[in-house]
Amino acid sequence: MPRSEARARGGAGAGTETVSATRASEAAPFGPQHAAIALAYAGDDSAPRVVAKGRGLVAEAIIERAKQHGVYVHQSRELVALLMQVDLDQRIPPQLYRAVAELLAWVYRLEQAAK
């Protein structure tokens, strides 16, 4: 099983982390060109980490797992393309802080409004 698939099936998002999945395509079914990324951010982390990423069926599994756990799925081809360059379990680079911070802040506001 590829490492990315193992992460998609594993416990990404356990504990007190905020997890956000993002995908590059709006259309289904997923093909090999479709990609998905899952980010996690715990308060003591210096930056969000890439906890899952993949293309095709792996991307589909990441999105399905996110939905099963009530994780917001954001669609952004540009952001996914940039995040696909980050290795698994690595923090996002400083160049992406602003874009990811805006996304996570928006997700946080959605979660607070739903309470």
* ∠ CA 38-40-43, rounded to 5°: 165
Please, what are the domains in the chain?
A: 3-114 (3.40.1690.10)
pLDDT, tens digit (0-9, with 9 covering 90-100), for 71-95: 888 888 899 999 999 999 999 999 9
pLDDT of residue 19: 55
pLDDT of residue 84: 95
What integer is the mean pLDDT of 1-15?
39
Instruction: With CA atoms as reference, report the closest residue to 75 among 63, 87, 91, 61.
Output: 63
pLDDT of residue 45: 87
> How far apart are alpha carbons 98 and 82 in whole angstroms?
13
Q: What's the farthest any 2 CA atoms get from each other in the chain?
A: 39
pLDDT, tens digit (0-9, with 9 covering 90-100), for 26-66: 444 556 678 999 999 888 889 999 999 999 999 999 999 99
pLDDT of residue 48: 92
